Amino acid sequence: MTDIETLQQAVPRLLQWFRQNKRDLPWRHNRTFYTALVAELMLQQTRVEAVKEKYVAFLEKFPTERELALASEDEVMKAWEGLGYYTRARNLKRAAETLFREGTPQTWVGVNALAGVGNYTAGALSSIALGLKEPAVDGNVLRILTRFFADDSVIDDAAKRKFTEVLRAVYPDETADFCEGLMELGAIVCVPNGAPLCEQCPWNTLCRAHLEGREEDFPVRAEKRPRRVEYLNVYVLKCGGKYAIRKREEGLLKGLWEFPNEVSPPPYPPPQGGGMTEPSQGGGMSGDAQGGGMTEPPQGGGMTEPSQGGGMRGATQGGGMRGDAQVVGERASPGRAHPERSEGSHKTDGGLSIQGDPSHALGMTQKGTLLAQKNATHVFTHVEWRMTGYLIETETPDPAFLWATAEEIRQNFAIPSAFKAFRVWLK
C-alpha cells in the first residue's frame, strides 16, 4: 500500500473522530470569513486557552470588518492587549480594511495577499471558511504526518512543501472538518510535549511510528540556535499619583507603550534569587506572526503630554546608563548586582545591592527616591529579556514622558505583557 493509499484510509476515520470529539470553541460558532480571520491571527503563536476570552471580547467590540476597519489603531491595540505579537493586531486591522473595501477573497492567492496571512493561515482560512481544498501545514500537522509515516525528514520548508502535496492528494470535500480535525488531533492527542495519547487516536492502527513503538522519535528537528539574551533596566517612575510611559521607537514591540527602559551590561556576578519569570505566549497554530506595533497615543484623559525630543534614549541603544546617567557620588550601573553593599549602593527587597543611584537614570535631571526593585524575565521566540525593574518616586514629572494615572493606563494604553511583572506597582 502506498503512502497516499494509507492516508486515504485515514481520512474518514479522522472526520468521524473530529465530529465526535471536537472541543467547543467560540470561533466554531456563527463562523464567517472575518471571524475565522480573527481567530486564526489570534491563534498564531498563542495558546487556545489564552485566546478564547479575548476572541469573544474582540468580536463584541469589532463584530464585523467594518467596525475594525474604521477603528483607531489605539483601540485595536488595547483590545489586543495581553495576546502579544502585536504586529498581528496591526495586520488584522489592515486585512479588515481590505475586506471592507474589496470584499472577501475567493481564492487561496487572494487570501494569502491579506496582511498577516502566510501560507499556513491562507490554507486554514481557505479550507475552513471558503470550502477550498487547500492544506494548512504547520508544526502540529508536520508532527502528526511524520509520525504517521515514520518519516525522519528534518522539519524544514522542504518537508512542509512535501506534506502539503501529500495532503492535497487526499483532501476530502469536507474541507473545514478535515483541516480542523488535523489541528484538533495535534492539540489533544498527538501532542508535542510528552508521550502522544495513542490509545485515543483514530489512526493508531495505521500510524507507522506507533506500530513500531517509535512515536517519540518524530518529528526530527534541526538544531535550534540559542536564544539571544538582552539585559534591560526598567524604570517605573511615579510622580503625584501618575506614572511615566512612552512609545517604543525601535526593535521588539516598536510603537507600543512601555515604561522607560534601557539596555544594561550583563550583571556580574549573575543575580541570585529575587527574580520573577514571565513566560512568552507559545504553542500557537502558525508561524506567521511578527512582533509589535502601535502609533498615535489617545487624546485627552487628563494626561500630561510629553515634549518633543530629549529624555530617554531608545531601549535598543547599548551601553546601559554609561554616558547618560547623572548620579551623586558613583556612576550608576543598575544592571550589576554586587554581593556586598558598598557606599553609594542601594539595598533591594530581593537582597541585592545596586551600585550608584538608579533614580538618576536616563538623563533625568531631578533626584528621585528608590521605592522597590525586582528582577523579571520575559521570553520571546528568539530573544530573552532579563530585566531589573526600579520603582522610583520623582519630585517633578519629566516632560520627556507621558504621565498618566494607573487607571488611565489600564483603560487607554496597551502595555505589553513583557512588562507585566512591573505593572503590579501601579496603584
Q: Which residues are the active-site residues?
A: 40
Say if residues 115 and 101 touch (Cβ distance below 8 Å): no
Exposed/middle/buried for 256, CB within 10 Å: 0-12, 13-18, 19+? buried
C-alpha distances in angstroms, 356 versus 30, 184, 198, 367, 390? 59, 54, 58, 13, 13
74 vs 42: CA distance, rounded Å:
17
Which set of grid coordinates corresponds to residue 285? 497554530
Longest dimension (CA), the chain: 80
Respond yes or no on whether the N-terminal peptide bond of residue 399 is cis (omega within 30° of 0): no
Label residue 300 left, alpha or beta by phi (over 0 means left) and psi (-120 to 50 means alpha). Answer: left
SS3 category, 33? helix
Kind of pairing, strands 242-247 and 383-394? Answer: unpaired
Residues 6+ apart with CB under 8 A from 188: 21, 23, 197
Which set of grid coordinates corresponds to residue 37? 480571520
Respond yes or no on whether the N-terminal peptide bond of residue 196 is cis (omega within 30° of 0): no
CB atoms within 10 A of CB 284: 23
Q: What angle do CA 241, 243, 246 make, to 5 degrees?
A: 160
Task: Give buried/exposed letters for 374-388 (b at 16+ CB in 10 A, else e).
Answer: bbbbbbbeeebbbbb
300 vs 144: CA distance, rounded Å:
52
Residues 6+ apart with CB under 8 A from 248: 254, 255, 256, 257, 258, 292, 314, 315
- The H or E element containing residue 123 is helix 119-130
202 vs 11: CA distance, rounded Å:
10
